[in-house]
């Protein structure tokens, strides 16, 4: 039952201690790549460790289960996505653009960029709808930030917003839907057009009067 070290004629003992500290990230990267290529359910722990050039046992040194790896990947995605959007919005704001609709456009642009570069990944990761994956949306930081933007615009009198939460959700999902559609059509280059549609539509919807 022990290891019985690879029987008599064991081949070369493989290099030990390759990189210094990267192991965990390497496994995360390999898993992400494979999940994207073959699907989550179709990717085994073995596939992952093979791709990461690491032994199977090593996997369990860094993750206590396959499921934990998925969790880590989700966390990494959300973090990365928020950072991208924040950074992009911040950049625009800094570049002197002004006006609420301009800000909204900045938002759509940043999010669309963030999303379209990673929709596949997003879908992959947030898919088993049985546990509370839908719950995540309830406190989705993106939605929360969007609500804040809407309320600020409303407070300034620039927009009329009856229900900022519902509006934020419509915006987010409109964008998500357009991104998905573009990807399904294989058209991933028309981002400007999509942003224009979003901005026009919601600017009209927010117009006071």
Q: Which residues bind a copy of itself (CB under 8 A)?
A: 1-3, 5-6, 20-24, 38-39, 41-42, 60-66, 120, 123-124, 127-130, 134-135, 137-138, 162-163, 165-167, 169-174, 176-178, 180-181, 183-185, 194, 197-198, 200-202, 204-207
Least distance (Å) between residue 95 CB and a copy of itself: 27
By CB under 7 A, tell whether 170 contacts DNA: no
Q: Taking CB within 5 to 8 Å according to partner kind, which of DNA, a copy of itself, none is near residue 135?
A: a copy of itself
Considering only the stretches 58-66, 89-97, 175-183, 194-202, report the one whose residues sit in contact with DNA under the rule CB under 7 A.
Answer: 58-66
Dump the DSSP string for the chain: ---GGG-SS-------S-SSSTHHHHHHHHHHHHHHHH-STT--HHHHHHHTT--HHHHHHH-SSHHHHHHHHHHHHHHHHHHHHHHHHHHHHHTT--SHHHHHHHHHHHHHHHHHTTHHHHHHHT---SSTTTHHHHT-HHHHHHHHHHHHHHHTTS---S-HHHHHHHHHHHHHHHHHHHHHTT--S-HHHHHHHHHHHHHHHH---
In sequence order, the 6+-apart residues with CB closer than 8 A to the CB of 92 are 102, 103, 106, 109, 110
Q: Can residue 130 be called a binding residue for DNA (CB under 7 A)?
A: no
Task: From the list a copy of itself, DNA, none, pick the one residue 16 interacts with, judged by a Cβ distance below 5 to 8 Å according to partner type.
Answer: DNA
Instruction: Rank residues 41 and 94 by Cβ distance to DNA and give the closer one.
Output: 41
37-56 residues near DNA, rule: CB under 7 A: 42, 44-47, 54-56
Q: To the nearest whole angstrom, how small is the minimum distance from the Cβ of residue 169 to a copy of itself?
A: 5
Contact residues for DNA (CB under 7 A)?
Answer: 1-7, 13-18, 21, 23, 42, 44-47, 54-61, 64-67
């Amino acid at each position: 039952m022990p290891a019985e070290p690879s029987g008599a004629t064991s081949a070369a003992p493989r290099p030990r201690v390759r990189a210094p500290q990267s192991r965990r990230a390497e496994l995360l990267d390999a898993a992400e790549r494979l999940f994207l290529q073959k699907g989550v359910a179709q990717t085994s722990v073995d596939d992952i460790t093979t791709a990461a050039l690491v032994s199977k046992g090593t996997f369990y040194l860094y993750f206590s289960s396959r499921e934990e790896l998925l969790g880590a990947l989700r966390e990494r995605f959300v973090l990365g996505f928020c950072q991208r959007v924040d950074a992009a919005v911040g950049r625009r704001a800094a570049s002197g653009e002004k006006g609420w609709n301009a800000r909204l456009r900045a938002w759509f642009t940043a999010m669309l960029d963030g999303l379209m570069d990673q929709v596949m990944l997003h879908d992959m990761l947030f898919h088993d709808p049985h546990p509370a994956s839908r719950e995540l949306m309830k406190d989705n930081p993106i939605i929360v930030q969007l609500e804040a933007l809407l309320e600020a615009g409303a407070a300034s009198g620039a927009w009329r917003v009856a229900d900022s939460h519902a509006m934020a959700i419509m915006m987010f999902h409109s964008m998500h839907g357009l991104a998905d559609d573009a990807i399904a059509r294989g058209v991933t280059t028309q981002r400007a057009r999509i942003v224009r549609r979003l901005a026009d539509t919601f600017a009209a919807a927010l117009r006071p009067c």
